[in-house]
Amino acid sequence: MQELDSSPRPARAGAYEALHQLLGDYVTTDPLERSYYRRDLAAVPGALGALIGRTLPDAVARPRNTDDVVTLVKHAAAHRLPVTPRAAATTVYWNAVPTRGGLVLDMNGMRGLIDIDEERLVASVLPSTRWQELDALLHRRGYSVLSYPTSAPAATVGGWVSMEGYGIGSLAHGGLAEQVVALEVVLPDSRVITAGAQGELPVRAFCRAEGTLGIITRVDLKIRHAPESTRSAALSFPDPAALYRAIPELAAIQPAPYCVHFADANYQRAMRSAGFEPPSDHATVLVTFEGDSRGVAAGIAATLEIAAQRGAEVLDEHIAEAEWRERFMALRLKRSAPTVLGAESWIGLDQLAAYASDAERLAKRQKLSLATYGTVVKPDEATVMSLFPCDESRAIQYVLDLSLTRQLFGTAFRRGGRPYGIGVWSSPYRARAFSPAELTEITTRKQQLDPASIMNPGKLYSSPLLLSRPIFDIGMGFLAGVRRLSKVVS
């Protein structure tokens, strides 16, 4: 366990102490309270985290409104204090973990539904509102969100905006950037702007920035009338090849499915090992439709027709309903091991079968229990997660196992994929996530808006030394070799 650095760096201690005068009890420099902010959901041994950066913040502030955020950012800019915005921190990339100490802005105090424009079907929301919470608030008034992340019970509106925003409902309604009407953002120089669909700083500029360009303080997003009907069909595929032929066909149904979620047979086995009863021993697809009753019925009929053509078993409706209710619980399989590692990638639907085959060969070669599941988020693409068990308490073996995540990403890249999310841990794959033109655009924008690099530094635009591309490639290659050798010896 890492020892707590009980005080900020002396050169800036006065700047951090002055925060108490600005926000009073809404600021803390207590070492124990600060320690809660040095990680997200990623299972990272303390020694490895210490090599990556200074993850213990010097102070934590909890703003209550936009004025508080402006006050804090203005102070940070004047003293060149690193600022890390954070709410639920539900990712595993360290997007919301400090790498240079500094000030963490815990945004959880800015939560709730501000207003609904019923004529325009637009809701104004505070950034740390949970998606499930927001949908419940809207449903009370007869409305619903268009889409939400698979981590909706915990994930926040502002956080998902910053993470590109594709998940459940995206197949039918598009990505979050297409749904956001406007963002209120406090820039690194403390200016407050409203970003719209067009302009020098449009909404899309903040929709993959991972909190590095400013702090979102309000989100205006499109909503819909609550759907009249929701129905799901659960299909089981004894033949995995038939599964991957069926997925593009299911995604192409009109009206579009609200969600198409799939899981391979290894995922079902992992669920059983974790103590849960999977819907089938074979690969499955859950296809869900939402909307008017006639359109939903037509979608279910088309789904059953494809199931018959592809030799799939249609599972009982009660199983389908249960799978839909449990759609936020895909990571329950973590109970089958002390820890899990993996890789989440964008994969084209036409490459899913090839990716699955490559991943299966990797698993056999590495004597690995690899479980894969995914969600179709565009007519031609899915986000795919492949996971394997490990144990963070066995530090040496854990570090060796990290080399497998690189091999999983490599498998995705060979099939035209790219990583979903960058943060710190996926920073070596930046050139895979963005085209050269996109890299130039985002880097130029960062330099213009944040020349001192105080806003969520150490993410997206650069890598810590150990994760710089040459060192990372050599190191991961070495770890992979040692792991293979250790498996042969054992």
Decide: 166 and 378 in contact? Cβ < 8 Å: yes
Claim to verify: residue 125 and residue 103 sit in the same structural domain: no
What's the rounded mean pLDDT across residues 210-216?
A: 97
Claim to verify: residue 68 and residue 133 sit in the same structural domain: no
Grade residue 46 by pLDDT with cuts at 50, 70 and 90.
Answer: confident
Task: Examine residue 436 and state whether it is found in any structural domain, yes or no.
Answer: no
Task: Examine residue 440 and state whether it is found in any structural domain, yes or no.
Answer: no
Full 3-state SS string of 405-418:
HHHHHHHHHHCCCE
Q: What is the pLDDT of residue 83?
A: 98
Q: What is the pLDDT of residue 477?
A: 84
Claim to verify: residue 14 and residue 125 sit in the same structural domain: no
Claim to verify: residue 233 and residue 94 sit in the same structural domain: no
Which one is predicted more confidently, 378 or 334?
378
Average pLDDT, the chain: 92
What's the rounded mean pLDDT across residues 204-210?
A: 95
Task: Examine residue 22 and state whether it is found in any structural domain, yes or no.
Answer: yes
CA atoms 133, 455, 167, 147: torsion sign: positive
Domain boundary among 178, 201, 225: 225
Claim to verify: residue 283 and residue 138 sit in the same structural domain: no
Claim to verify: residue 203 and residue 94 sit in the same structural domain: no
Claim to verify: residue 66 and residue 156 sit in the same structural domain: no
Look at 183-197, 312-326, 327-341, 428-442 and tell me which has the smallest mean pLDDT. 327-341
pLDDT(10) > 70: no
Task: Examine residue 457 and state whether it is found in any structural domain, yes or no.
Answer: no
pLDDT(1) > 60: no
What's the rounded mean pLDDT across residues 462-468?
A: 85
Task: Examine residue 355 and state whether it is found in any structural domain, yes or no.
Answer: yes
Full 3-state SS string of 313-363:
EECCHHHHHHHHHCCCCHHHHHHHCCEEEEEEEEEEHHHHHHHHHHHHHHH
Per-residue pLDDT reduced to its tens digit, 60-111:
999 999 999 999 999 999 999 999 999 999 998 899 999 999 999 999 999 9
Q: What is the pLDDT of residue 3?
A: 43
pLDDT(9) > 90: no
Domain boundary among 174, 198, 225: 225
Claim to verify: residue 200 and residue 69 sit in the same structural domain: no
Supply the pTM of this predicted model. 0.93
Domain boundary among 418, 433, 459: 418
Claim to verify: residue 189 and residue 249 sit in the same structural domain: no
| Element spanning 299, H or E | helix 293-309
C-alpha–C-alpha distance, residues 487 and 490, integer Å: 5
What's the rounded mean pLDDT across residues 132-157?
A: 97
The domain spanning residue 331 has which CATH number? 3.40.462.40
Task: Examine residue 476 and state whether it is found in any structural domain, yes or no.
Answer: no
Q: What is the pLDDT of residue 390?
A: 86
pLDDT(127) > 60: yes
Task: Examine residue 182 and state whether it is found in any structural domain, yes or no.
Answer: yes
Claim to verify: residue 161 and residue 175 sit in the same structural domain: yes
Claim to verify: residue 272 and residue 368 sit in the same structural domain: yes
Cβ-count burial of 41 within 10 angstroms (0-12 exposed, 13-18 middle, 19+ buried)? middle
Q: What is the pLDDT of residue 487?
A: 64
Domain, as residue range, for 364: 229-418
pLDDT(490) > 70: no
The domain spanning residue 136 has which CATH number? 3.30.465.10
Decide: 456 and 339 in contact? Cβ < 8 Å: no
Grade residue 2 by pLDDT with cuts at 50, 70 and 90.
Answer: very low
Per-residue pLDDT reduced to its tens digit, 347-391:
999 999 999 999 999 999 888 899 999 999 999 999 999 999 988
Grade residue 6 by pLDDT with cuts at 50, 70 and 90.
Answer: low
Claim to verify: residue 138 and residue 250 sit in the same structural domain: no
Grade residue 395 by pLDDT with cuts at 50, 70 and 90.
Answer: confident
Type of residue numbered 76: A
Task: Examine residue 446 and state whether it is found in any structural domain, yes or no.
Answer: no
The domain spanning residue 65 has which CATH number? 3.30.43.10
Domain count, the chain: 3
pLDDT(243) > 60: yes
